[in-house]
Homo-oligomer: A and B are copies of this chain.
Amino acid sequence: MDEIAADPSHPRYASLLMRHRLEAAAKRGMLADSAMIAHGRGEAFDYLLGERTTPSARLAGAEAMHRLWHAQRPVLSLNGNVAALAADDMLRLASRLGCPVEVNIFYRTPERMNAILSYIEERKKVLGLDVVVLGDAPNAAIPGLKGPRAACHQEGILDSDVILVPLEDGDRCKALVAMGKTVIVIDLNPLSRSAQQASITVVDELSRALATMLAWDEGEMPEAYDHQTVLKDAHKAMLDGLSDA
């Protein structure tokens, strides 16, 4: 990490910290070739959003937590970017909800799966959390997806009723929704297929979205959530951001 990223008072600290995490993850073999490009696209949308959590993103985060708290079988899905950027908060969330996390990646190779799984196990030990980590031995398939992209655990993603899949691919999001699950997406592009197709979309940078969610208590009741309204609010916030730039 360079000199700027070591100073939390620097205006670009959060952004540089995320880049540093991705670079470290790339060195560990956790990321697909397209991971950095996807992150850069997200950075541009976050820039339009003013790098802040909007009221509608906060509402969506609250609704997401409410659904996860009241799920029968919640599960949190992690791909390479999510593990790189927010493994700790995903583990904290799973620990609080008492649910498993499942490593599930789009471009699946044994090497990348192992790199991600071993990183998560490492962070679990550092944090001292008791969380079931799935992904190493998939025994089921998501209907409607082909080949290794469909692989999942029955006791994790397959049998879940509410699933958090941050930074998810559009096809997989669609397939999960088609299974009748409540699908919660965290995505900086309100126009993406994942953002549109999900049950609940938090249009926010991943670490900020998870901070909102972790701050939401089990007993709290969120305001009424309307998917299209939340997406339109995010779109408008970006238009305003670009207009004022």
Contacts and interface: CB of A to CB of B under 8 A. Distances in A.
A123 to B, nearest CB: 22
Contacts of A37: 19, 22, 36-37, 39-40, 43
A127 to B, nearest CB: 27
A38 interface: yes
Interface in A33-68: 33-45, 47-48
A145 interface: no
A44 B242 CA distance: 13
A110 to B, nearest CB: 19
A89 interface: no
Quickly give the copy total for this chain.
2
Contacts of A35: 36
A224 B209 CA distance: 47
A19 B34 contact: yes
A30 B22 CA distance: 19
A235 interface: yes
A245 B45 contact: no
A242 B245 contact: no
A177 B204 CA distance: 37
Contacts of A36: 35-37, 39-40
A188 to B, nearest CB: 9
Contact of A38 (B38, B40, B235, B243): B40
A221 interface: no
A239 interface: yes
Interface string A96-139: 00000000000000000000000000000000000000000000
Contacts of A41: 40-41, 43-44, 47
Interface string A193-231: 000000000000000000000000000000000000000
Given A43-B44, A44-B189, 12 more contacts: A19-B37, A22-B37, A23-B33, A35-B36, A36-B36, A41-B43, A41-B47, A44-B44, A48-B242, A235-B242, A238-B242, A239-B242
